[in-house]
Amino acid sequence: MTSASLEVILRNLILHRRLPFTFQSVTAAVNAWDIVVCDAAGATLLLTVPVGRPMEIRNAIQDRLESAIEDAPTVSTAPRPQ
């Protein structure tokens, strides 16, 4: 797998799952990929995913991005009492 093919997997995953992230970069590391995405607020999220088959990598990325959404603090839009 190349960084370009991993970028395509990541962009398609974000698009098809409608995840609130924007791709920033992907870098090969020893036995892993370092992936950087930004969330809707502009915060940077670094993922390290082990090398493997494309479907395994895609599933690992999806799990980590969905976990990041679940772990994110929620912002209430309810009006404050006066």
Q: Which domains does the chain have, with CATH numbers?
A: 3-70 (3.30.160)
Calculate mean pLDDT across residues 23-44. 93
Per-residue model confidence (pLDDT) at position 74: 60
Per-residue model confidence (pLDDT) at position 54: 93
Residue 49, token pair as written in the block: 């995913």
Burial classification of residue 20, based on how many CB atoms lie within 10 Å of its CB (0-12 exposed, 13-18 middle, 19 or more buried): middle
Place of tokens 């997997």: 9
* 76 contacts 29 by C-beta, under 8 angstroms: no
pLDDT (tens digit, 9 = 90+) per residue, 3-20? Answer: 999 999 999 999 999 999
In whole angstroms, give the CA distance from residue 12 to residue 21.
12
With b for 16 or more beta-carbon neighbours within 10 A and e for fewer, the 34-50 pattern comes to ebebebeeeeeeebebe
